[in-house]
Chain A
Amino acid sequence: MAEKILEVKDLVVEFRTDRGTITAVNGVNFEVFKGQTLGIVGESGSGKSVTALSIMRLIPNPPGRVAGGEILYRGQNVLDIPLDEMRSIRGNKIAMIFQEPMTSLNPVFTVGNQIEEVLELHQKELSKQQRTEKAIEMLKLVGIPSPEKRVHEYPHQLSGGMRQRVMIAMSLACEPDILIADEPTTALDVTIQAQILELMKKLQTEMGMGIIMITHDLGVVAETCDDVAVMYCGQIVEQSDVKTLFGHPRHPYTKGLIESIPSFDSTTGGAKGRLPTIEGMVPSLFDLPSGCNFQNRCAHVTEKCRGPHGEPKLEPVSKGQMVRCFHPLS
């Protein structure tokens, strides 16, 4: 059994807005193990990025607020520790890659400067010379050609794929325990995406970090993750290892998501049938229905789902598989 490095318990995150308070993350639980990858999938607004930001304690407050729960990093609740101590964890032990490599790099500093800044903050014992050397080493590690030259270049001189490599180099400079990757390849083309995912896998094997992979792309999940949590309206609706999830999805939402991806398997060509879809749309967080959040889109909905017995709980249905549904699929 791999070592558990992060545990999120009953996390609740609220945002105060003009129209009232919304619960963006509502009672989320998961664990991250050394050398393994946990995928968090969901559509826009499902709360996956907010979950990631709260682990880093980067939720803007106000309007946001972690209203409950614990985030245990090696047994220590990161929500309780003072901010200056948090700085020694953030970036150092828990690092994050953001979605937009175009906007998350500072355009007025060279990429070398930006990697060195991370080292300056977290590894104070290094000299200027050593920092530069380390920055070049990191760029080499993420597969940037002629790193000695690139280290002096500015972000605009690099392509999207290269910038994302720089982001990865920055986040790994301090050899973190946990890497949170928030849609790391969404802004990239498929051939570049393949390169980046391969790179992350390779670095994980070498450095043994745990990865939280946040994405809306089930293809990326299937290829990179060991465990998956599917989020819908701020809650995890299904959670299991990746093979079980794709082989036997038990929540109607998970099944619908998997089926709505066109596949190449169909050999008919040309005139194909309709794609299976999930009807309707995600309800507004301001106006969640009582009972199951998925009821208005579910094909298997019954009276029970509409709320007389409260909302469904995330319960185990088989070994290692948890589902939030009154009528899990067989």
Chain B
Amino acid sequence: MTDNILEVRNLTKRFPIKGGIFGREVGAVKAVNDVSFSIKRGETLGLVGESGCGKTTLGRSLLRLIEPTAGEIIFNGQNIVDLNATHMREMRRKMQIIFQDPYASLNPRMTIGGILAEPMEIHNLFPGKEERRNRLYQLLDQVQLPKDTLNKYPHEFSGGQRQRICIARALAVEPEFIVCDEPVSALDVSVQAQVVNLLMDLQKDLGLTYLFIAHDLKVVEYISSRVAVMYLGNVIEVAESHELYGGARHPYTKALFSAIPKPNPNVHMDRILLEGDIPSPMNPPSGCHFHPRCWNATDKCREVYPEITNESETHQYKCHNPIRLN
């Protein structure tokens, strides 16, 4: 038995589109479409993709902040999709989330002490006054903020510091699994590196498991042990992070990596320029969703949606004409 903290099977989220005078359902956006993957205890799974591909919806569905339409989410051996609200709340103690925007995700009228204590109150942890205070100090210490932070308000902090506070809030209930939804995207480069290091240190010290969602491939590749690539609601390739760069089999993955500007003016790699835009998830193309932008597309790609191919135990992709590796 492998020690998977989380297993996702055929997870689907449809958002209905209502139209007409009677508000009938006229269609649906399949934001997440039949996605399956697993995360091992203590690892970081990176999730990348362009805007609108469904990565945030997927991340939030895992905590049932968005109710999935179909599929199973097995956390610590238990399917959490059918849990009632009380049990789900209990379960969320073990699953936390850090949001992208550290400016919008802290209540401006609460002190940092209040913000950090709230999750502990809800879950009735560290009840004694002394105990609670020590726990708050410990949290601040873990995210490297000074003790006088507790009595201040969010507006007194910079973006990087606020993101540290958000991390401390997620840690307050001693979770095992944290969904990091673009935690560094809103930060400046030099601060971004500090927060990435902090997340990696915390993982080592507390044995955390992360789902790390980002559109910045460099950061994802750096922090993750495995990476899943999404396109229009589907996970199209999963591989060890060092395999993915250079060893990608799906043309989209290859194009995505080649599109990143390299901070080295002496290296000029062959860039694959994708034609066109990402299609609307309301009306995805037939067959393989990527075929209108793919340079390898054949008639089969236009008609048949590709099944999962197992390249190795750690590397899966969905493509009829994968890139040949030499």
Contacts and interface: CB of A to CB of B under 8 A. Distances in A.
Contact of B50 (A44, A189, A224, A261): A189
A260 B192 contact: yes
Contact of A189 (B191, B257, B262, B278): B278
Interface stretch (A7-15, A61-69, A87-95, A213-221): A213-221
Nearest to B53: A189
Interface in A181-228: 189-195, 197-198, 216-224
Interface residues of B, number: 47
A239 B161 CA distance: 30
A210 B246 CA distance: 35
B264 A246 contact: yes
A322 interface: no
Given A264-B245, A268-B242, A222 B263 contact: yes
A183 to B, nearest CB: 13
Interface string A236-263: 0000001100110000000011101111
Contacts of A5: none
Interface in A273-298: 274-279, 281-282
Nearest to A226: B265
A308 interface: no
B193 A275 contact: yes
Interface in A149-190: 159-162, 189-190
B261 interface: yes
Given A217-B261, A270-B240, A261 B218 contact: yes
B240 A269 contact: yes
B93 to A, nearest CB: 28
Contact of A195 (B201, B222, B225, B273): B273
Contacts of B263: 218-219, 221-222, 246, 258, 261, 263
A19 interface: no
Interface in A84-108: none
A186 to B, nearest CB: 11
A195 B190 contact: no
B80 interface: no
Interface string B143-171: 00000000000000010110000000000
A272 interface: yes
B190 A277 contact: yes
B188 to A, nearest CB: 4
A285 to B, nearest CB: 13
A183 B276 CA distance: 21
Contacts of A278: 190, 193
A311 interface: no
A262 B260 CA distance: 12
Contact of B218 (A189, A222, A264): A264
B261 A222 contact: yes
A43 interface: yes
A318 interface: no
For A145, A193, A194, the residue with the greatest tally of chain B CB atoms inside 10 Å of its CB is A194
B242 A281 contact: no
B50 A220 contact: no
A162 B277 CA distance: 8
Contact of A260 (B190, B245, B256): B190
A271 B241 CA distance: 10
Contacts of B259: 190-191, 193-194
Contact of B277 (A161, A220, A247, A262): A161
A267 interface: yes
B218 A263 contact: yes
Contact of A222 (B197, B243, B262, B277): B262
Contact of B189 (A159, A257, A268): A257
B69 to A, nearest CB: 26
B283 to A, nearest CB: 14
Nearest to B258: A194
B274 A218 contact: no
Contact of A264 (B200, B221, B273): B221
Nearest to A260: B193
B238 to A, nearest CB: 15
B215 interface: yes
Contacts of B161: 281
Contacts of A281: 158, 160-161, 191
Given A189-B278, A260-B193, A275 B256 contact: no
B189 A223 contact: no
B266 A275 contact: no
Contacts of A192: 50, 277
Contacts of A262: 193, 196, 218-219, 221-222
Interface of A: 43-44, 145, 159-162, 189-195, 197-198, 216-224, 242-243, 246-247, 256-258, 260-264, 267-272, 274-279, 281-282
16 contacts: A162-B277, A190-B50, A191-B255, A191-B256, A191-B274, A192-B277, A219-B260, A220-B261, A222-B261, A223-B262, A242-B265, A257-B189, A261-B189, A262-B221, A270-B240, A278-B193
Which 6 A-B pairs give the minimum distances between C-beta atoms?
Answer: A269-B242, A219-B261, A262-B222, A260-B193, A189-B50, A43-B188
